[in-house]
Structure 1
Amino acid sequence: MNIEISKIANLPTEFGKFEVQVFKENEKEHLVITKKPLQKIVNVRIHSECLTGDAISSLKCDCGDQLKASLNYIEKHGGMVLYLRQEGRNIGLLNKINAYNLQDSGLDTIEANHQLGFKADERTYEIVDFILKYYNIKKINLLTNNPDKLKSLHCVEIVDRIPIIIKPNEYNQGYLKVKEEKMGHMLK
């Protein structure tokens, strides 16, 4: 794996003051947002990019709310958010919007991805193992509802899972139901 790593910079935000560092993997630039001091067991959120949810506050998903909840948690308890450039479960923004179009006609998120020729979730997490090894992190509490993330990390011990429960709204109820019933997400 050929990874380019940036210097560390300070980043004050509405959530608190963090340090940031970028890990460039081919064309993808992943951001690590850290609140120090790091404990022996590090609180970690693996968050995949969602432009519509994170930047525009889309109500069709829970991504932006999960990111905000994670940043608030990390600010209070220390740890890091690994912001992975895997837009639309790693199908890219163009395909994600095409999937949205199919969802507008009645398909759920998984059916829409399949219609476009993709798996339900195309994300991978090798870069997470690389980043955690780089920081010499051996034990984590993982902020997630996604069982695939619990199974995908190989270089660390996951001591605890910290759920991120977001209150549904009228636009994302079906999306959350699919995540729970078809993808096994732990939303309760």
Structure 2
Amino acid sequence: MAQPNPLTTPPPGTDTYAGKGEILHPAEQHAFPPFETHTFLAQIVWLALAFGLLYYLMSKIALPRIQGILHDRATRLSADLDEAQRMKAEADAAGAAYEKSLNEAQGKAREIAQETRNALSAEAETKRKSLEAELNQRLAASETTIRGRTEQAMGNVRTIAGETATAIVERLTGQAPDQASVERALNATAH
């Protein structure tokens, strides 16, 4: 006789699987455990106890903690948003103050530049006028000196011309001309 294969043969006293076409006796059939009617009441009781305990734990322990965390987070977010709004307002105020001070500084710089231009212009005008006055004085002094020297030179020319004319007439005629006739001749040629 052949020995049964221990890997494929179930041990004695265990339920065997119904093969194709075999029908098991109702006492041998097993339903899905939650649908078994003889354990249905116990399952309902345990379900109610587990649900009640879970509901109690959630409502008294877990949910208050979660609610506290959410409240703290909302409070922190609100505080952070308020702080950000305050900082934005400060930054806007600082920006406006900076713009105002920048405009004031630019206005003051323009005023200082205009005052400096006016002062330099007035100083340059004063220097120009003093230089013009000095130049006019020098020019007048030079013109006076030139006129004096011109008159002196012309006086010297007249004297030299008179002496030269007297020497020429004396050489040509052999006698010295009278001084009145030389003066008349010089006057006639001068005009």
Per the TM superposition, whether the score is higher than 0.5 is no
Question: Of the two, which has the highest radius of gyration?
Answer: 2
TM bracket, shorter-chain basis: under 0.3
* More strand as a share of residues: 1
- Higher helix proportion, which one? 2
Structure with the bigger RCO (C-alpha within 8 Å, sep 6+) is 1
Q: TM-score, normalised by structure 2?
A: 0.14
Q: TM-score, normalised by structure 1?
A: 0.15
